Amino acid sequence: MLSLLGRRWSLCLLLVAGVVQANPVLEYRVEGLESPLRSNVEAWLGPAPETVPARANFMVSVRDRTERSLQALGYYRADIDLSLDRQQDPWQLLINVEPGEPVRIEQLQIQISGAAVEDEAFARLLADKPLREGDVLHHGHYDDFKSSLLSLGQRRGYFDAELLQHRVSVEPVGATAKVELHYASGPRYRIGEITVDDAVLSRDMLATLQPFEAGDPYELGRLQTLQAQLQRTGYFSGITVRPQLEQRADGKVPLLLELHAAKRHSFDVGIGYSTDTEERLSLTWRTPRINRHGHSQETRLEYSAINPSGRVAYNIPLTHPLDDVLQFSARLEQNEFGDMDSLQRELMVRRERRSGNWIRSYHVRVLDEQWDAGPIRDDERYLLPGLSLSHKWREGPLVNPLRGFSQFYSLEGTSGSLGSDIDMLRVYGHWVYVTPLGEGHRLVARTEAGAAFIGEGQRDALAPSLSFFAGGSQSLRGFSYQSIGNRTTLELDDGERRDFVLGGDRLLAGSLEYQYRFLPNWRAAVFADAGDAFDEGEFEAHYAAGLGLHYLTPVGAIKFELARSLSEDQPGWEVHINIGAEF
């Protein structure tokens, strides 16, 4: 028992001793200097010592370290006075420094020889050098510039480069310095043969992705661009582009491209909710690379009470695996448009091409749609050639941009001569503009407009998915999902007459929203929405206002919004919950 008690007391004493030793046994203060000189001295000296041996070592080296910290910034004639008070606990050390006059660069001799003399990148580096005659000598700037020369040479293919001379000569008495640098670049190497496993990636596809050709001057940035392009395809889990420096010869350096295939199949399960489509479950199956030519497929199943759907897409790269893709797809979808229940079956061939931030596509789709609303039941088939054009520009985070502009345009048409049940030309546009109004303040404006031009007497043959509706969290808030459209009174089978929302052949809607970010992840909003989905010549303005609270996440804002119509008699409040980015 006594032995156990003794061990406990020993442990307590050790813990107490540890706590005591954690306290500094010396505190120091630097006076006589302004920042950055004082900050550099403190950085060189480090934290105050916490043990007696460390204090002894600190006192032995304090003057030397203070001198070297000042010399690093060009002060070689400093007067350093140390005053130590041992009577206090902890000891108090005052380091009083008179820095004196700094050493200035009297002569600056920087020479570049070899092929880099003609290289504009080196010319820019020299023009922006942090060293000038007459400047205070700063050894950090000298070391950084020397490293920049060597680093730039490696990035641009000067693999035989060396510093023939690199010296700083200081005359403390005269407070002058001479800086000498001679960078001999040697030849600039060119890109040689690329070695890659042809069974993993075809040479033709590699040629479309690589931003260089064999024989081009070596530049690391081009290799990084190739790596990024390959990463964007989704074909590979690991990518390494390595110059084979030990095999360089005849002014060329070969490249080794190592590719590790991504998982052949991936599955994603998603759960979501919005007041428009209620609960939603999704399952996505992707095969990112079916063969070495880059074919891929994506199958997506979604279930919600309002809008269940399934879609299969098969993608074939054409001239570029990222910027030019041919897609074959099939879609089956149910949806509620106003008071109509719709079932859509679709087959589509689509070509999508990217150029910078612009995306343009051309397609032909066959749409078979059945719908019913009360006594109305119809089934129409359409052959729809069309095109679309979109562009997005943003600054700041991807899902929460500081400013930006998104625009989307689509055009589709069909006629009886193509085997459709209607003559139609349908156009649609959607715009979103985001701009800051000072720190934490933002304005978001949205507009959409559309029109379906239909042959005379064919209005009833316009399917719900080709008509226009408004209302909901992505349209006019304050109104329920797709509840705004042309209204028609129909007689039911039991003789009752009732109004049905059947959509319109025109759409015009807009929104203006002010947002204030009051915490890093929280934002408040106030907004006004207005517009209508209507048949030609029957526009009737619907407008509403509301408040919102947004929680910002990495995948977009979770938006809780409360809105009320200002155009209806005795309107109720509509709650909207949605998640997503502005565009």
- Write the DSSP string, 222-238: HHHHHHHHHHHHT-EEE
Hey, what are 66's tokens?
């203070």
d(CA 154, CA 564): 63
Q: Could you give the domains of the chain?
A: 22-98 (3.10.20.310), 104-184 (3.10.20.310), 190-261 (3.10.20.310), 266-580 (2.40.160.50)
d(CA 192, CA 216): 8
With CA atoms as reference, report the closest residue to 186 among 129, 122, 126, 130.
122
Residues in the chain: 583
421: enclosing H helix or E strand? none
pLDDT given for residue 11 in this prediction: 39
* DSSP state for residue 554 in the 8-state scheme: T
Q: What angle do helix axes 120-127 and 139-155 make, rounded to 10 degrees?
A: 170
Hey, what are 40's tokens?
């550099």
pLDDT given for residue 104 in this prediction: 96
Spatial CB neighbours of 177, under 8 Å, sequence gap ≥ 6: 74, 103, 104, 105, 106, 107, 137, 168, 169, 170, 171
Instruction: Give the model's confidence band at 434: pLDDT under 50 very low, under 70 low, under 90 confident, else very high.
Output: very high
Residue 422 predicted with pLDDT over 50: yes
3-state secondary structure of 134: coil
pLDDT given for residue 103 in this prediction: 96
- CB of 344 closer than 8 Å to CB of 369: yes
Mean pLDDT across 210-218: 93
The counts of H helices and E strands in the chain are 7, 27
Q: Got the DSSP string for 461-502?
A: GS-GGGSB-B-STTS-TTS-TT-BS-EEEEE-TTS-EEEEE-
Residue 152 predicted with pLDDT over 80: yes
Spatial CB neighbours of 6, under 8 Å, sequence gap ≥ 6: none
- CB of 473 closer than 8 Å to CB of 483: no
Cis, peptide link before residue 308, omega less than 30° from 0:
no
- CB of 468 closer than 8 Å to CB of 533: yes
Q: What percent of the chain has pLDDT over 70?
A: 96
Q: What is the pLDDT of residues 305-316, one digit of tens each?
A: 889 999 999 999
Strands (E), 212-277: 236-243, 252-261, 266-274
With CA atoms as reference, report the closest residue to 467 among 438, 439, 506, 519.
506
Q: What percent of the chain has pLDDT over 90?
A: 78
Mean pLDDT across 100-123: 95
pLDDT given for residue 22 in this prediction: 58
Q: Give the mean pLDDT of the chain.
A: 91
Residue 150 predicted with pLDDT over 60: yes
Mean pLDDT across 181-194: 96
Q: What is the pLDDT of residues 5-52, one digit of tens each?
A: 344 434 343 334 444 445 889 999 999 999 889 999 999 999 999 999
Q: Which position has the higher pLDDT, 201 or 121? A: 121
d(CA 381, CA 472): 28
Instruction: Give the model's confidence band at 1: pLDDT under 50 very low, under 70 low, under 90 confident, else very high.
Output: very low
d(CA 318, CA 179): 56
Mean pLDDT across 108-115: 95
Q: What is the pLDDT of residues 278-326, one digit of tens each?
A: 888 999 999 999 988 889 999 999 999 889 999 999 999 999 999 999 9
d(CA 120, CA 108): 21
Residue 348 predicted with pLDDT over 60: yes
pLDDT given for residue 534 in this prediction: 96
Task: Order the strands of the 91-98 sheet from edge to edge.
Answer: 26-31, 91-98, 79-85
* DSSP state for residue 118 in the 8-state scheme: G
Spatial CB neighbours of 280, under 8 Å, sequence gap ≥ 6: 270, 271, 272, 273, 274, 302, 303, 304
Which segment of 238-252, 471-485, 491-505 scores lowest on mean pLDDT? Answer: 491-505
Report the DSSP pairing between strands 487-491 and 497-501.
Answer: antiparallel
Q: Got the DSSP string for 149-206?
A: HHHHHHHTT-TT-EEEEEEEEEETTTTEEEEEEEEE--PPPEEEEEE--TTTS-HHHH
Half-sphere exposure of 409 (CA within 13 A, CB side): 5
Instruction: Give the model's confidence band at 582: pLDDT under 50 very low, under 70 low, under 90 confident, else very high.
Output: confident
- CB of 70 closer than 8 Å to CB of 37: yes
Mean pLDDT across 523-527: 97
